[in-house]
Amino acid sequence: MKDLYTFDADADKAADTYQKVRRAYKSFFNELRLPFLVARALSGEMGGSRSHEYHVASASGEDTVISCNSCNFAYNEEVMLSETEPQILKRSVVDLGPYQTWFGISKDRCHLIEVIVPQFLGSREGHGPERKEVHVNTYFIKSQYPDLDLSIERPLRTFVEHWEKQQSPGSGRDWAAPSSSPYLTSLYDYRVPQDYIHCRETNSPRSALYSKLSAIIGTRLYQDPRSLDLARRQNGDECFRCKERSLQVQQAVELAHTFNLGQRYSKPLDAKFMVKPVEQSKDIAHTQQDRSGTSPVRQGHEYFHMGCHGIGISRMIAAVAESLADAQGLIWPRAMAPYEAVILATKAHEAVAKDIWDLLTRQDECSAPVDAVLDDRDKDFGWKLKDADLLGFPIVIILGATFTNSKFCEVSVRRLGTRQQISIANVRDYIARRLERI
């Protein structure tokens, strides 16, 4: 990770610096011609008031990024934005069963939470041709109950076994005390109708674990009265900003991150800077006097407002290789490729290949030279063609059978999906135009 740390005198200047870094990162990724996403993100343990992540979509990515194809807003699934504070929704009257139950347990093992959501939903929250399995939005549940321990794989069994042990004779624990009593909270997704809730409360599920759970919690059972959306976002869901059903959920690899840290670290580290006294006119000083009779002149020492920003170079190379590759091999962006073009020729056209290399690489007043390489290895022509695709040259110039018959080069640009026959006189201009797009 290549890190950048910034230090500013006040919050406004720190915000300006933050935006400058964001613009620089965007320009950097645009130069690579990467289909990147900029997502609102949690500051997490780093702290601070604001952060953004820069992602490239990848099936092997560890992050889930939710973006809107209509208004282009994007955010990491972990984020609970101020705009998405819990919204009380109208409870459904349509039975969308069957339903499923998810459990969570608190770190002190006193609190068990059960979340009931539909097992399947159609394309428009009900019945439809594209029924999808529903997953509980654990990030949202965690935001409502911060003490949840999401690392436990079997929360219900863990809760029951913990309290059976606590209640066993000789445990020495007063488990009936209010501060340590086990209790259960139930949350129902807004799509779960009231009739089902009432039926479930009067006829609790029958299983050995549920029987033990009922014996442990007794009457310490609570229902969260809010009618909330407890399901994870899916493709085609409604965007909370523009209200269009254009959300896209993608796995992604994080390439960079920006943090506006404020004084999160400067205060604990006592990192200050000296402020020179500000001269004021007597009239201004008189109107700004405080209770002590002195003017509130900004002077002395103040804490820095900090920022922290970083790009993962090695991670970026791997992510680009994976996201742009096809069945033939790698496809490097122009800015990352060792060479912009490679020239391949049969033995009969090796002399012409050298002339083309000279044409592309020479200095010219009208256009910049092309960073080209001539593959003159002692290998079979077919092998060179496959190797060029495998290595991912942005542009491949081929002098083979087509050139023999028509004296036209074949120029292949796999990222654009093009393969054109171009005369030698026009090949430099053609390649220059294609390089601008990759």
CB 401 within 8 Å of CB 410: no
pLDDT at site 173 = 53
pLDDT at site 195 = 87
pLDDT at site 48 = 83
Q: What does residue 252 show for φ and ψ, rounded to 5 degrees?
A: -150, 155
Taking 50 as the pLDDT cut, the residues of the chain under it are: 82-83, 124-129, 174-178, 279-297
pLDDT at site 379 = 94
CB 182 within 8 Å of CB 110: yes
pLDDT digits (tens, 9 = 90+) for 296-317: 445 688 999 999 999 998 888 8
pLDDT at site 34 = 83
Q: What does residue 176 show for φ and ψ, rounded to 5 degrees?
A: -85, -10
pLDDT at site 127 = 44
Q: Distance between CA 376 and CA 190 in Å, rounded?
A: 68
The residues that bridge with 416 in the sheet, in sequence order, are none
pLDDT at site 93 = 78
pLDDT at site 78 = 83
H or E element: which one contains 255?
Answer: strand 247-262
* 3-class DSSP assignment, residue 162: helix
pLDDT at site 295 = 44
Give Cα separations from 58 to 120, 241, 316, 368 (angstroms). Answer: 26, 25, 12, 34
CB-count exposure of residue 130 (10 Å: 0-12, 13-18, 19+): exposed
CB 114 within 8 Å of CB 102: yes
Q: How many CA atoms lie within 13 A of 150 on its CB side?
A: 10
Q: What does residue 106 show for φ and ψ, rounded to 5 degrees?
A: -75, 165
Q: Distance between CA 260 and CA 256 in Å, rounded?
A: 14
Alpha helices by DSSP H, listed for 168-249, are 194-202, 208-217
Give Cα separations from 394 to 185, 275, 369 (angstroms). Answer: 58, 53, 15
Question: Of 316, 346, 335, which is closest to residue 415 (Cα–Cα)?
Answer: 335
Give Cα separations from 214 to 112, 279, 321 (angstroms). Answer: 12, 73, 54
